Structure 1
Amino acid sequence: MAPTLRRVVAITSLRLRVLAGAADLDRPVRWVAVSELEDPTPFLEGGELVLTTGMRLTPPDAGPYVTRLVERGAAGLGFGVGLGHDDVPEEFVAAAARAGLPLVEVPRQTPFIAIGKAVSDLLAAERYEELSSAFAAQERLTRAALRPGGVAAVIDSLAREIHGWAVLLGPDGEPRHLAGDGADAGTGLVQAEVARLRSPRAPSSLALSGPARHVVVRPLGERERLRGFFAAGADRPFTPVAHTIVNTAGSLLALSLVRGRDQLAAARQVRAAVLELLLAGRHEAAERAVAALGDAPPSGPVVVLACDPADAEALYDALPGFTAPFGDLVAALVPASEAERAAAIAGTHGRAGVSAPVPTGELATGLDQARLALGSADPVTRFADLAGQGLLSLLDPGLLSGFAASLLAPLRDYGSRADLVESLRAYLACNGHWDAAAQRLGVHRHTLRYRMRRVGELLGRDLDDPAVRAELWVALSARSHTGRHSETGSASL
């Protein structure tokens, strides 16, 4: 930021005396311009301290001269005395007072070049101070990035450095971390602009400005592998130093996210190996391997969850207990006391099967139970609930239907008027009791005996064998079970 005119006139060696506009001395001085022209404004940009001896100026020129300087945005007027004028003409003092333009008297012994050097030194000092401030802020941001939870720490530090607010958003545009006053309101504004940064020809960043709101929005990562967005806002325009700080924060956030993803991927590979050790019963080796992660599998009875999430990243962060990749699934070992909470969380992220509580020495059994339960159409299915649905609920409906159709095909293809399938069903339902089965069918028991001999011949199986009876009963039951499954699936669609 440029030094103010107040700082310039405070330099005692210049011996400047304020004659008008003392209330406006806090204007920034961006340069010193020396001119003896009646109208120097074509050569000004605004913010200059204009110095003149008034050699070509007369008292009637005072009003128009001062007006032109004000309209051009001059910071002030320095009137040198002792050459063209012994004193600053009263007309110039009055005109400057009316226009609110600071006017200072420059004594004969103060060279204009001395004022120019003094302002130049102040500008250099201000620039050095700005650079030092930027370097210090960058150092603080870097230290924040190296701390645990570095991404959130960078957002917190950025909000403090710019005296405003900052927000981190995920690739989906949802806020992940907010810091600073105004972050809540600013997040809504940023989310509305995120879609623009996703488009193929999107700019590298967006700047939004309003009367009391100034916001910068930037994507994190390459557009093909977008890792999120961040935004910073304040109630005043960003200075060059603030822009430097925001850019530094963006670079640190991008690096932290990449490093974090790589570390997470490596940690999950370790967890997958630990899960394999646990399933193999090698608990001591598993504990040594997972110790490097600062974690440990739960002890005591655990519940195993087999999860098929829509967003595995979000599920890993949300689930309690020990989580690890398991093929295309996410497996979670959860203390029995946390089972219900974990199941509810898993259900909000996709589908999950939940085992019964098992000792840590029987994790393989728990995982098998959880995977069987995952086969249900419900978002969350507990293995214990499958028992009430019968053994057939554990079998794949397609495989079950194919097995039944293949096994019973010879009976359906038999050309007799006798319904061998229903006769077999009655016979098995009555546990092989001829009289009860015949009475159910409304036929003589000798007729039923004949039909069962024909069934045995067509199937090539011994109906007195309990295993054969079990297979036939499963095949007969499959028709009604798969029919109910299909109806349930259609209704759910």
Structure 2
Amino acid sequence: MPPTLGALLRTPSLRLRLLTGQDRTHRQVEWVAVSELADPTPYLAGGELVLTTGVRWVDRLPDLRAYVGRLAERDIAGIGFGAAVNFEHTPEELVAAAEEFGVALVEVHRLTPFMAVGKEVSRLLAQEEYEGLNRAFAAQRALTRAALTGAPAVVDRLARELGGWVLLLSPDGAVRHAAPGSAAARAPGLADELARLRGAGPRASVSVASEGDRVSVQPLATSGRARGFLAVGGVRVSGSDDRTLVNAAVSLLSLELERPSPGPAAGVRSAVLTALLDGALDPAHPGAADLRAVLPAEPVVVAVGAAVPDGQRPEGVLVAGHEGRTVVLAAAATDAAVFGEVLAGPVGVSAAIGYPDLAAARSQAERALAAATEEGSDLQRYDQLPGGLLGLLDTPAGVRLADDLLSPIDQQRAAPELLASLRAYLAASGRWDTAAERLGVHRHTLRYRMRRIRELLPGDLDDPDHRTELWIALRVREGRH
């Protein structure tokens, strides 16, 4: 949520003084617009704090009533006038017009640069966005934890996070769970909308007015079939954080309804593994203690293959369908027989890795699967593969290739820091915050180092082929030590 005008007025360093619009301090300031135009409205979207010094008013005072009227029609947050620049005081005509049109008028002290006001709004916007991301992460983490105990817990947690009511409905509209319990009375009023949704397909959703409330209804669909519906009311789901939370609940509930037999945790564990493989979850995040509780302990391996029909989900492993494969995440010490309970041969298994290298492990498992398919073996482990670039770890050729590729960085005095930054950046798939956190540095420090690396390396770091070569070269280096 953008900062309010009142928040800016309460910032001592800005030295702002409210002249009119005492009842308008609750207005949100979407942005700061500095303009000396006689009519800046074509360049405004609404919600701005318009700052001016009146430089064009010195020779002849314009029709300030018309000026303020146009800004009022654009629904700005307020006007800020820079005092003691071109006018000793804010013109009385401007004050009167602001009073007439109900526009907040703020006098900006002569020692306060307009840039300082803009920077403060930017700072407050960035702070709000950061806090919103933290709230969203905590809420999704709580939702994932709730899913481990079943669908009712997901519904209860979602209602608590949104501050409204939530219904989990069966395909025929019967109430499976309501939070709070009194919300079950809302179900009959949604019958017509559910009928329309059934005919519209599994991707459709609807927002309707029911009993004076705005209700959002979404199908819980997997494999092209609706297995139930989720209805949310009593709150306006408008912010991106709220929508993300509702979408997360829909995904978790859909997975659980698709696979009820292995137990309530199976669906969410599959969702967790999918999110890990896509880079959407970071187990290293300080707030991810609940996530780490459901993951195999490092080191881990990734296995890929075809799913066993109606196969069981052994304890201690995560299983998910991902990009046309069935993927298994397990502790490195897991017996090969466990993979046979989930995957039909041939099966490819990666080398033992940590969670930061999960993407690389998936690629290793795919290469091992290709080798197993070609050789007709039931299971092939990547670290037992002959040849390949990573198979050159202990050979002079592999070392020479890696040294040639990384030599521009090696020649720098800060080579250790640059190489560590490059590895963290590649391991995090280019996510600045994740990589900086693993290094223990500020993300701006990492950005500076990566900019330097881009200048040193001859290839394009945005080219997937070049990134892969760099990753392999770094792995070759690690094999030497």
Letter in 2 for 1:61: D
- 1-side partners of 2:11 and 2:124: how far apart? 11
* Contact 2:5–2:27 (Cα < 8 Å) also in 1: yes
Report the CA distance between 1:186 and its aligned residue.
Answer: 3.5
The answer as to whether partners of 1:169 and 1:175 remain within 8 angstroms in 2 is yes
C-alpha distance in 2 between matches for 1:211 and 1:4:
33
What CA distance in whole angstroms lies between the structure 2 residues aligned with 1:202 and 1:143?
26
Distance 2:227 2:238 in 1: 25
Cα deviation, 1:138-165, whole Å, max 9, x if unaligned, reads 1111111112xx1011111111111111
- Residues 70-112 of structure 1: CA distance to partner in whole angstroms, max 9, x if unpaired? 1101001100122221110111112112222111111221111
Instruction: Kindly state the Cα deviation for residue 222 of structure 1 after the two structures are TM-superposed.
Output: 2.8
2:98 is matched with 96
Contact 1:4 1:25 (C-alpha < 8 Å) held by counterparts: yes
Contact in 1 for aligned 2:167/2:183 (Cα 8 Å): yes
- 1:156 aligns with 156
Question: Which residue of structure 1 aligns with residue 374 of structure 2?
Answer: none
Q: CA deviation at 1:46?
A: 0.7
Q: How many percent of aligned residue pairs carry the same amino acid?
A: 51
From 109, 112, 118, give the equivalent of 2:111.
109
Using a 3 Å threshold, how does the CA distance of structure 1 residues 56 and 187 change in structure 2: closer, same or farther?
farther
1:142/1:163 Cα in 2 relative to 1: closer, same or farther (>3 Å)?
same
Out of 168-177 and 178-187, give the one that drifted further.
Answer: 178-187
Structure 2 Cα separation of the partners of residues 250 and 56 of structure 1: 56
2:230 equivalent to 1:247: no
Residue identity matched to 2:5: L
AA partner of residue 21 (structure 1): G
- What is aligned with 1:476? none
DSSP-derived class of the 1:161 partner: helix
Cα deviation digits, residues 19-78 of structure 1 (max 9, x gap): 111221010111111111111111111111111111224655221111111110100110
Cα gap change, 1:185 to 1:45, in 2 (>3 Å): farther
Between stretches 242-251 and 222-231, larger displacement belongs to 222-231
Q: Give the Cα–Cα distance (whole angstroms) in 2 for the partners of residues 214 and 119 of structure 1.
A: 32
C-alpha spacing 1:44/1:209, structure 2 compared with 1 (3 Å): farther
Distance 1:31 1:215, change over 3 A: same
- Counterpart of 1:197? 197
Query: Structure 1 residues 181 and 20, CA, compared in 2 at 3 Å: closer, same or farther?
Result: farther
- Deviation of residue 234 (structure 1)? 2.3
1:226 match: secondary structure: strand
Q: Measure the CA separation in 1 of the matches of 2:203 and 2:259.
A: 25
Distance across 1 between alignment mates of 2:214 and 2:52? 39
- Per-residue CA deviations over 1:230-257 (Å, capped at 9, x if unaligned) read 1111244532221111111111111222
Q: How does the TM-score come out when normalised to structure 1?
A: 0.50
One-letter amino acid matched to 1:95:
A
Deviation by residue 1:257-284 (Cα, 9 ceiling, x = unmatched): 23324449x9xxxxxxxxxxxxxxxxxx
Aligned positions of 1:55-454 closer than 5 A: 55-57=55-57, 59=61, 61-147=63-149, 150-180=150-180, 183-184=183-184, 186-199=186-199, 201=201, 203-208=203-208, 213-222=213-222, 224-263=224-263
- Secondary structure of the 2:217 match is strand
- Please state how far the C-alpha of 1:211 moved relative to its aligned partner: 10
Secondary structure of 1:221's aligned partner: strand
Q: What is the alpha-carbon root mean square deviation over aligned residues?
A: 2.3
Aligned pair in 2 of structure 1 residues 259, 222: CA closer, same or farther (>3 Å)?
A: closer
For the residues of structure 1 that align with 2:241 and 2:183, how far apart are their CA atoms? 21
Structure 2 unaligned spans of 5+: 267-481
Taking the aligned partners of 1:219 and 1:163, their CA distance within structure 2 comes to 21
Aligned to 1:2: 2
Query: 1:227 is paired with a residue of what secondary structure?
Result: strand
Cα distance in 2 between the residues matched to 1:16 and 1:45: 23
Conserved? CA contact 1:78–1:106, under 8 Å? yes
Matched residue SS, 2:132: helix
| Cα distance in 1 between the residues matched to 2:76 and 2:82 | 17
